[in-house]
Structure 1
Amino acid sequence: MIHLPFSIFFAFSIRTSTIIMVHIPVQQQNFGNTELRISPIIVDCETLGFQEWWYSRKYALKVLPILKSCYDKALRTFDIHEQGEALLTEFLEEYQIKRETIVIVKGIDFFLGASDALEVFGPEERELSKTQGYWREHILSNVAESVKHFGYIDVMQVPHLGPELPLEEIMCALNEVVENGHVRYLSASSMPVSQLVQLEEISERHNWAKIVGLELFYNLLHREDEHELIPYAREHGMALMSFAPLASGVLARSLGDATKRTHPGSYLAAEVGQLWPKQQAAVSRLQELAASKHRPMAAVAVAWVRSKGCVPIVGFSSMEHVDDALDALYTTLSPAEIEHLELFYCRGGLYGK
């Protein structure tokens, strides 16, 4: 069998109820109304980068093959922050991959350098040295450091900015890194729609680089942004991305299985334990639909996010999880199935009571 680039292997046999692997191209897509082409699923490097608090070469060698699997299967858009940046740098060097063959979506690091994220500062020291936050000098320094590794950043994420920060000065700095070619496009991440409007008005007034994408905490259980942010983004032609399509893994396995697999004190166990009864019912409904379609729960959950016009940012801990996510590209949900999944949606918090 000849291996075709930019492809995965997938088909379903009705007669045998088994998965048969065949070549199906993975299509890239435009980033909103821009000419930038991105993967239909974005790879979350931060999930891999922080699985061990102390990043090491030994650990990198364990997870780099997962990134290579993503790359070989045409998932070539990578979301990075502090440790994820170090991991992606290691990946490019290890496999001698050309920078121009990938797309990098980068969040502005809260700490002044990736290594600083692992150091301990007191509140006074942090305030005096400005080692954390999103100041103009911080943005310029952070971008300059990334440029040393990658040459340029395709998409820079603008985070929710605190009230003490001068928005005009920040947008001026972001416009500067776009004008000098260090950043190609700007995107916003999880901010109130009022702040997004403010940033857009500042850009418009000065004819600066505009925000063309929006990253959201968005999944089957958390849909608060459907009321303001998503309509605003669609009206302005922004690309939509979800950084939590599986709700921290809650939507990747049955409720009972999640409880068995996780330690009582773990993050996932806490999330499962905080689900409202209706949200638990939604997870069970997802499980039933996935079983009826002979798909992993993760594939159906990611397919739901994609059905909303949102590009999922997915973290992978194994090769199998990569294939589960790719399965979502060929999982079609009918309007009735989408309505079936959404029936138990309830507003009023992330997952907690």
Structure 2
Amino acid sequence: MTYKRLGQTGLKVSQLCLGCMSFGEPGKGAHPWVLDEDASRAIIRRAVEAGINFFDTANVYADGASEEITGRALKDMARRDEVVIATKAFGPWGKGPNQGGLSRKALMQAVDDSLRRLGTDWIDLYQIHRWDSETPIEETLEALSDIVKAGKARYIGASSMYAWQFQKALLLSERNGWARFVSMQNHLNLIYREEEREMLPLCRDAGIGVIPWSPLARGRLTRPWGEMTERSGSDRFGSMLYARTEESDRQVVEAVATVAAARGAPMAQVALAWVLAKPEVTAPIIGVTKLAQLEDALAALDLTLSADELSALEAPYVPHPVLGHV
């Protein structure tokens, strides 16, 4: 396993980050396809054995069960100083008016709740899950900085937003001496490349680590077009993301299939190798529900695509509506 610095920090993370959204209690939360604790632990154990030290979850995944399972597994399988635990806050965890969002009140409650569920004294990377248009960004940034000063988080990061919003946040943090975002968790894959226009150049210029979510387009880049799985059949968020661009997306998937066939490699490895080849990317976040999917992701680390293969994969792409920011 190769380890890379996260942005301009001294923090070193594995070149793959294990996404923990698929860990929880079946039937609990928004996703019926989540794995139970035993199945989740098997995947986490294999990730640790393979040298993955970077694990990403969120307070709303499986209504908090993802954090609980991830925290218990890592406590049993690795020393705390050997792993980098990332989690996120923004989504509602209750029905009250302050049980969600990025207000000072919400963040101070959310971080304590996440620490309790994870069973740890600190979070390595505490991220805002989305931009909160109802809370002044100054309030959010100062609260995050106080969380870092209190020792509850080591670093802070952000997730999907517009580049102008991220630039504003970075400038405000610098101006006020607050803790600065060190990473951007954004939506990037072969069928959604709009982040190449502004966000990736901004991150490169500002020294921000990039840890993309959905690098395989929620499985669409891993199988022939139209083939369904249990997850894809019930994934309302994924259907919303890609519903308007099906024809152009189909052509991209077919290009992945062609390159994969010529290489004698699974489509998932080719699609992930494309993300890994982006110089701005630190570590894509891989979601796994089967051990074979994790093995494909690990194998992708050794797959280097040629310039001709990269061109063939990128050629069918057409501009997409901005997706994933809200």
TM bucket (normalised to shorter chain) is 0.7 to 0.9
Q: What are the equivalent positions in structure 2 for 1:1-353 lying under 5 Å apart?
A: 26-49=1-24, 52-53=27-28, 59-82=36-59, 83=64, 84-93=66-75, 95-112=76-93, 116=94, 121=95, 126-127=96-97, 130-148=98-116, 149-256=119-226, 258-259=227-228, 261=229, 265-267=233-235, 270=239, 275-309=245-279, 310=281, 311-349=283-321
Identical-residue share of aligned pairs (%): 28
- Contact 2:89–2:101, Cα closer than 8 Å, also in 1: no
Larger CA Rg, structure 1 vs 2: 1
Which amino acid in structure 2 is aligned with residue 177 of structure 1? I
| Larger displacement relative to structure 2 (161-170 or 299-308) | 161-170
Q: Please, which runs of 5 or more residues in structure 1 have no aligned partner? A: 1-25
Which amino acid in structure 2 is aligned with residue 79 of structure 1? D
Q: CA deviation at 1:265?
A: 4.9
- CA 235–350 in structure 1, closer or farther in 2 if over 3 Å, else same: closer
Q: CA deviation at 1:158?
A: 2.2
Q: Secondary structure at the match of 1:248?
A: helix
Q: CA deviation at 1:314?
A: 0.5
Q: Which position in structure 2 is the counterpart of 1:16?
A: none
Q: Which has the higher contact order (CA 8 A, sep 6+)?
A: 2
Q: CA deviation at 1:221?
A: 0.3
Q: Deviations over 1:130-167 (max 9, x none)?
A: 11222101111222233342211111112332332121
Q: CA deviation at 1:350?
A: 6.5
Which amino acid in structure 1 is aligned with residue 176 of structure 2? H
| Larger displacement relative to structure 2 (178-187 or 45-54) | 45-54
Q: CA deviation at 1:109?
A: 4.5
Which amino acid in structure 2 is aligned with residue 27 of structure 1? T
- Contact 1:81–1:109, Cα closer than 8 Å, also in 2: no
Q: CA deviation at 1:270?
A: 4.4
- Contact 2:252–2:317, Cα closer than 8 Å, also in 1: yes
Q: Deviations over 1:247-297 (max 9, x none)?
A: 0100011114x24x4599533894787543222111011011112112111
Q: CA RMSD in A?
A: 2.3
Q: Secondary structure at the match of 2:217?
A: coil
Q: Find the aligned partners of 1:161 and 1:241 in 2 and give their Cα distance.
A: 17
Q: Find the aligned partners of 2:270 and 2:21 in 1 and give their Cα distance.
A: 23
Which amino acid in structure 2 is aligned with residue 139 of structure 1? L
Q: Find the aligned partners of 1:185 and 1:330 in 2 and give their Cα distance.
A: 29
TM-score, normalised on structure 1? 0.81
- CA 264–212 in structure 1, closer or farther in 2 if over 3 Å, else same: closer
- CA 146–276 in structure 1, closer or farther in 2 if over 3 Å, else same: closer
Which amino acid in structure 1 is aligned with residue 235 of structure 2? Y
Q: Please, which runs of 5 or more residues in structure 2 have no aligned partner? A: none
| Larger displacement relative to structure 2 (264-273 or 46-55) | 264-273
Size of the alignment, in residue pairs?
Answer: 308
- Contact 2:131–2:160, Cα closer than 8 Å, also in 1: no
- Contact 2:163–2:199, Cα closer than 8 Å, also in 1: yes
Q: Secondary structure at the match of 2:52?
A: coil
- Contact 1:159–1:191, Cα closer than 8 Å, also in 2: no
Q: Find the aligned partners of 1:111 and 1:156 in 2 and give their Cα distance.
A: 16
Which amino acid in structure 2 is aligned with residue 142 of structure 1? A
Q: Find the aligned partners of 1:350 and 1:186 in 2 and give their Cα distance.
A: 24
